[in-house]
């Protein structure tokens, strides 16, 4: 039953993000309205801030090529952040508390960075990059690289699962023990943890894509 509940909450998060995106798009599709800064925080303003901040970070990590990978990374960050935050609402289970949700996101990143890496470099150069510069060490290096790549989805999903599950469990325990003050403190901590875990997941995804599409080693 709990497994199906996570599916419901995952669908709920997706629906909420789609609805909020549509509302924000209603303003953003008119560029002339966006030239004048709004005096108070609005949904479109929040989306603009998140997009601008994340894109700046991606350009710092990946350079100008970050723009082409932004749709995946941006969607991933927003989805994980909203999923993590859902666990702070009493009665809701965050989708990221289920390892299957996290593994699905991690596998999307795994398949994506390998596909774009092969597309950017060609399969020969991609494998050559994994084999390293020393020919007689190539079989060993290739085996190590393959194992390293296969571990990445598990590492991403388990890290997120462990942190969100632990945070949700601590919040639930203290909410039952103390009615008001302590839960508020842990909710603030939960917001911080939710942001950090979404940030770490997407930052590692950026690094994996940047490494897979790097050309310098072949020049």
Mean pLDDT of 1-18: 79
pLDDT at 36: 60
Mean pLDDT of 30-38: 60
pLDDT at 33 over 80: no
The string of DSSP codes covering 4-20 is HHHHHHHHHHHHHHHHH
Render pLDDT for 181-216 as a digit per residue (tens, 0 to 9): 556 777 788 888 899 999 999 999 999 998 888 765
For residue 205, give the 3-state DSSP assignment.
helix
Render pLDDT for 97-122 as a digit per residue (tens, 0 to 9): 888 899 999 999 999 999 998 888 88
pLDDT band for position 218 (cuts 50, 70, 90): very low
pLDDT band for position 50 (cuts 50, 70, 90): confident
Spatial separation of the C-alpha atoms in residues 99 and 110, rounded to whole Å: 16
Render pLDDT for 164-184 as a digit per residue (tens, 0 to 9): 888 877 777 776 766 665 567
Render pLDDT for 108-161 as a digit per residue (tens, 0 to 9): 999 999 999 888 888 888 887 777 777 777 788 888 888 888 999 999 999 999
pLDDT at 184: 74
Would you say 92 and 9 are in contact if contact means Cβ atoms under 8 Å apart? yes
Would you say 67 and 169 are in contact if contact means Cβ atoms under 8 Å apart? no
Contacts of 120 (CB under 8 A, 6+ apart): 212, 213, 215
Average pLDDT for the chain: 81
């Amino acid at each position: 039953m709990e497994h199906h509940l996570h599916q419901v909450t995952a669908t709920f998060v997706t629906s909420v993000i789609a609805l909020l995106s549509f509302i924000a798009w209603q303003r953003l599709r008119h560029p002339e309205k966006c030239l004048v800064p709004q005096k108070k925080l609005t949904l479109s303003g929040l989306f603009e801030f998140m997009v601008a901040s994340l894109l700046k970070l991606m350009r710092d990590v990946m350079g100008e090529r970050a723009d082409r990978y932004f749709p995946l990374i941006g969607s991933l960050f927003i989805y994980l952040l909203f999923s993590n935050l859902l666990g702070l609402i009493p009665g809701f289970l965050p989708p990221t508390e289920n390892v299957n949700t996290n593994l699905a996101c991690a596998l999307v990143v795994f398949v994506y960075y390998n596909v774009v890496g092969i597309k950017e470099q060609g399969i020969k150069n991609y494998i050559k990059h994994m084999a390293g510069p020393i020919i007689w060490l190539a079989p060993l290096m290739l085996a190590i690289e393959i194992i390293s790549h296969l571990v990445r989805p598990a590492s991403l999903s388990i890290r997120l699962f462990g942190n969100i599950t632990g945070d949700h469990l601590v919040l639930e325990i203290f909410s039952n023990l103390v009615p008001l003050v302590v839960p508020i403190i842990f909710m603030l901590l939960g917001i911080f943890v939710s942001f950090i875990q979404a940030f770490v997941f997407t930052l590692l995804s950026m690094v994996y894509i940047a490494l897979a599409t790097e050309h310098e080693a072949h020049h």
